[in-house]
Structure 1
Amino acid sequence: MTDIGKLIRMDRIRDRNTKRTIIVPLDHGVSMGPVKGLTKLSETINMVAEGGANAVLMHKGMISKGHRGYGKDIGLIVHMSASTSIGLDPDDKVIVCDVVEALRLGADMVSIHINIGSKTEADQLKEFGRISKECDEWSMPLLAMMYPRGERIPDQFDSRVVSHVARVGAELGADIIKTNYTGDQDSFSRVIEGCSVPVVIAGGPKIDSDIKLLEMVKGAIDAGAIGVSIGRNLFQHDNPTAITLAIKDIVHKGLSVKEALERLG
């Protein structure tokens, strides 16, 4: 039986026609502090919304600082995991919100971050299972950020490792998986093939050129991804609206990188 509640909420964070999505994560204030692009959240959200982003992802305390009541509407994903870059173990993600709290805040979806290969993997997976059950009980869609991180993982972009962590997220009940792009269309298509739920790619660290960013987006879409979840490369861009529009041209309109670059002059 179709979970109509989940379906209605999912349609708020994706395009109803393409079934694809452009998500802009703005949760970096916990992990990195008040970096460029996050000091005036309402302005940043307005710029990416004007560019055609489908949803923003943020921690519970920031929702009243930027979402919504003005400008163009945009979906809301409440992030439930946290750790800081100055902590003893940045890979140890802990849960700082719950599904009912997110519902009260107006969330269309919730997200968690799981580091497979980390020292606290077992605890994070246990929380994943609990939250997945809670999401089903409340008809709340779940985005799982699945990353390979730890001493036994020399290359977090290895397609075999990324395929494994993506599959873990699907096995434990996520509705959408966010994970690393493996560098090319062929290898990432194997990640998609091995994952039974839709996949979006992470943006990763700041990329030094627009063309590299758009080539990554195009490769992921052509491999079968349903979209992107890109933060710093959008909200720290010199023109967040224009780069979001360029990504929209690829994700939702199927244009080439060359055609999308025209958005940027």
Structure 2
Amino acid sequence: MVPMDHGITIGPVTGLANITQSTAAAADGGADAVIMHKGIVKECYARYPRDLGLIVHLSASTNLSVDPDHKIIITRPLEAMRLGADAVSVHVNVGSEKESEMLKDLGEVSRACEGLGLPLLAMMYPRGKNIHNQYDPDLIAHACRAGAEMGADIIKTNYTGEQDTFREVVKGCPVPIIIAGGMKTSSDKELLDKIKGAIDSGASGVAVGRNVFMHETPAIMVRRIRGVVHEGLTPEEAIKQYQ
């Protein structure tokens, strides 16, 4: 899936200034789904075929805030469903100053989704003043388990960087985990190696934003990611096959 919910947080950055074009590239590349906020859904999603899944993101904050780690709920599950959402997502920064408020919000959203039959993706990240390493396997495992305990159907989180430690994260979480693509990498192979490692250690998929929409050819990058995730290609094979 391709997250495109960055506009609220960091503004119209490269690759997202023309959100319609970015969505088209994700669809053309064969992305399973996109993640976006309600206003963008109204502007550009409706024109794409229904085989491009829609996940409406319910949380928001801006990096201009005194506390960017504090995510608040700006959209309700029923509102997202009326927009045609296949699922919704909520962001929780575990370990942040406002963790308790975000967990409360996640619980309320989980309850609403259960009543609507709407799948819930929880973005669970160890992040805050007391978190010195957001890739610490124990912290990631705790964050993932917390999301599952709260009723999420799928968890999005950081990759630990090592297959052995990520396998332990997966073992401790009773629902599927997908990894975040993270910051823009220096090469396609660097990202695909990370994805391959995650998939081989039990991840169910990936959510790659900046490494897709900031790419020179986003549709090709989506195809390469699909090659590794769905077709079992090595990074080298995916790069060679999809030019």
Sort the TM-score into its range (normalised by shorter chain): over 0.9
Aligned identity (percent) is 51
Q: Does 1:91 align with 2:100?
A: no
Q: Which residue of 1 aligns with 2:165?
A: 187
Residue 264 of structure 1, CA deviation: 5.2
C-alpha contact (below 8 Å) 2:30/2:223 kept by paired residues? yes
Distance 1:194 1:40 in 2: 40
Match of 2:83 in 1: 105
1:234-249 matches, cutoff 5 A: 234-249=212-227
Q: Which runs of 4+ in 1 moved over 2 A?
A: 70-73
Out of 221, 236, 240, the position equivalent to 1:262 is: 240
Equivalent residue letter for 2:118: M
Q: 1:125 aligns with which of 96, 100, 103?
A: 103
Q: Which residue identity does 1:242 align to in structure 2?
A: I
Q: TM-score, normalised by structure 2?
A: 0.97
The SS at the match of 1:168 is helix
CA separation in 2, counterparts of 1:165 and 1:54?
25
1:147-162 pair list within 5 angstroms: 147-162=125-140
Q: Does 1:24 align with 2:2?
A: yes
Q: How many residues align?
A: 243
What residue is the counterpart of 1:146 in the other structure? 124
SS in 2 for 1:115: strand
3-state SS of 2:203 partner: coil
Q: Which among 150, 162, 171 is matched to residue 172 of structure 1? A: 150
Q: CA RMSD in A?
A: 1.1
Distance across 1 between alignment mates of 2:166 and 2:34: 24
Q: Unaligned stretches of 5+ in structure 1?
A: 1-22
Deviations 1:7-59 (A, max 9, x none): xxxxxxxxxxxxxxxx1000000000011111222211111111110000000
Task: State yes or no: 1:226 paired with 2:213.
Answer: no
Secondary structure in structure 2 of the residue aligned to 1:118: coil
Q: Any gaps of 5 or more consecutive residues in structure 2?
A: none
State TM-score, norm by structure 1: 0.89
Deviates more, 1:27-36 or 1:68-77: 68-77
